[in-house]
Amino acid sequence: MIVAILAADADLTTTLIERTSSTVRVQQILQLSLAPVFLLAAIGAVLNVMNTRLIWIVERVNRIEEAEDAGGGGRESEELPALRQRRYLAQAAVNLSTAAALTICLVVALLFISAFIRPQIGTWVAAAWIVTMAQLVVALLLFLLETRAAITSPRERRQISRDILKRRRDRRD
């Protein structure tokens, strides 16, 4: 389909070839895309750590719930609201980091698209970059909250859980 369009419009084909045949222009685009690609690699590394933590939390919640269902669980069951809160924080951090990675991919795509089109899209690239940074800041803050919650003792987690349950009851009343 694209070949047919290009064949039908020789001027468009010529224009595209002229804009992209320059080795210098392609090198510039590749250089511009290096920073976003390095950021994408860093996001991937952080996502790996976040996912490992999230999996651990989910497995811990599942083990406690299974023990509860089997009639056990004991004091660990009292920690469930705090663990669920950590799970929420970790999941939100993973979601925002993934969204940031997708937005960085958009930045790279926009950089390459800019070689093919006449209108200037620098504003779109800048906006996508700013959105990425905002997503990363919020994701890292959520991750910070989750890791701070992780260092609490079982006694503190039970107290946090009681506070969470109390706040839920107060909201219902």
Domain boundaries, the chain: 33-172
Q: What is the mean pLDDT of residues 75-96?
A: 94
CA quadruple 77, 82, 87, 92: dihedral, nearest 10: 160
Please enumerate in sequence order all residues whose Cβ is within 8 A of that of 111, keeping only pairs 6 or more positions apart, or say none.
29, 32, 33, 36, 125
Global pTM? 0.79
> In terms of Cα–Cα distance, which of 124, 157, 146, 150 is closest to 46?
146
pLDDT digit string (tens) for 34-69?
889 999 999 999 999 999 999 999 999 999 999 988
